[in-house]
Amino acid sequence: MTPRLRAAARPAVAAAIAGRLLRHAVPDLPEMSGPGRETPRYTVDWAGPVDADLPDERAAQAACGLMQVHGRATGGPLPLAVDYASVVAGVLAAQGATALRVARARGLDLREVRTSVAQGALLAVGQYLAAETARDNSGSPEPGAPHAPVAASDVPQAGGLATLETADDARVEVETLDPLAWREFWARLGVAPALAGRGWLPFQQRFATAVCPLPDELRQAARRRTPAELRAAAHHAGVSLLAVGSDPAPAVRPAAWCLTPGPAPFPRTRARPDTGVPGPRPAVSVSGAVLPLTGLRVVESTRRVQGPLAGHVLRMLGAEVVRIEPPGGDPMRWLPPLAGDCSARFSALNAGKPVVEADLTAAQGRDTVRALAAEADVFLHNWAPGKAAGLGLDASDLLPRHPALVYAWASGFGDAFGDRPPLGTDYLAQVHSGLAAAVRPADQPPAPSLMTLTDVLGGLVCAQGVLAALAARETTGRGSRVDSSLVSAAALVPRPAHRPRWTALDRPLRTADGHLYLGPEARACPEAVLSLLDGAGPMATEDLAARFARRTTEEWTARLAEAGLTATPVLTDLTALARDPAYRAAVAPPDPATGHARPYAPWEFA
């Protein structure tokens, strides 16, 4: 761990990720010294403000909703087979510590930051929480809305995934955002347009619902074709397609972000006598307190999840974040479910960001972007590869005029595919990075989680790259170009050489009124669990389910506790997060301004 930032870290994975990112972020910054200039300190623990006993990663997944969202597509709550919440917490810790570096260099008296694995898990489910707590204008949940909690009985086993099987038992993942390309792809497989159209809505809504109940006729059409035939159909239709492998190891291990220093600042353009950094603006804060990035301005032109989340993180750290949207507004604003007159998922990432509308296809719109960037500390976008250069808004266009600007690009694949990358979306990034295999045990076919794992992690990594560039700027006066990607974020997630084999104890056990996930001691000692069952004799652990269903979650928790074993009730209704007193300090209840619940900022600064 970097000697310049002291850490008191309990979860080992989170601590390792934080240390790795901090070494990458501030390798050359001099030690702070002098009265009141103590080295910033960061702390990572399991629960943070969540009033719950969370002994490990899986307990956090169970208690905070990760198991519920990840398991929707396969019929019930299911753990992610990787330490995803811990990795998110590690990135959050690195963000907090790097933000403290920036704050201290700017004269703000902030010295310590704390976060937790539970706060990382809650941030990861934030969009799903917003969707499920959204209300229509009558104040009631929208009946039959696609965001309603999905019961296990409503989703066939493996029927809610988008992954397709081929004639020779290979598996492929397809992606397109174009309904005409989707129809053409299926037409080349002999599927009628009307039938292909029935699959389009669940296919697109899987980003929001984490399930994809495609018509079985589409799956059968894919099963009649070889991978080569599917690739040919995808190529002719303009659809991206990747084969889903069973190797959990990352295909590539790129750096989390690439930071390229910009040109030296021009002396005559310096807004402050010692650097080229613009002077501080009046304090702007989301909580009424002075936060590390108070007084800094971010301009973002982003869509979907990865880019908006990066801006959302910087705003929670105190920056003013201004969105550039097309005339009439971002179309994502009206995707259901609505909270008032705005999409709940969109609001979860973009509430509180002032909007400037600009048509980037017109010279006037591009001039608007240049003018906004000239007054900003950070310019952030997640445009498709080549678009920035085509618009004349690449780093090479903006940095020479504004050498203190931090220019950030969040992509899907970076340069991993050269000039012809596939569509840079979450699920293809999971496939290419090996995460699609790593998130599932060996007895399940490899397939991406339909929870947007890399979008969330990619947005966090992009924000950390921006913070690293801001920290360097405070020393050099120079801005930087920061490139990050979904696959570089996915590569942060540690995974074993081979997919694990699970027993019944590694999965949530159904009780009379819910699900319970056993703690590490109980999972390691099945005999102790079997001894607690009514009338238990010789019995395989796979036969536990029927016996467990006879008692309630509370009864089983008490029985296990008497035997010195821990267990965590599995959250299967995200709306409970906004009502449960245990989450009062971590989750804000539905807000009249946004119409939905949301996690509070995942850091506590002192």
SS3 (DSSP) at 288: coil
The one-letter amino acid code at 217 reads E
| DSSP calls for 231-287 | HHHHHHHT-EEEE--S--S-S----SEEEEE-PPPPGGG-SSSSSSPPPPPSP--SS
Q: Is the peptide bond before 337 cis (omega within 30 degrees of 0)?
A: yes
Residue 380: φ, ψ to 5°: -130, 135
CA distance 87 to 568: 21
The whole-angstrom separation of Cα 503 and Cα 519 is 14
In angstroms, the CA 574 to CA 225 distance is: 39
Which residues, in sequence order, are CB contacts of 564 under 8 Å at separation 6+? 521
Q: Is 86 exposed, middle or buried (0-12, 13-18, 19+ CB in 10 A)?
A: buried
Query: Mind giving me the DSSP string for 520-576?
Result: HHHHH-HHHHHTTSTT--S--GGGHHHHHTTS-HHHHHHHHHHTT--EEEPP--GGG
Catalytic residue among 56, 330, 455, 483: 455
Amino acid, res. 260 = T
Neighbours of 606 (CB within 10 A): 10
Q: Is the separation of the CB atoms in 568 and 65 below 8 Å?
A: no
User: Is 426 a catalytic site residue?
Assistant: no
- What is the set of active-site residues? 455
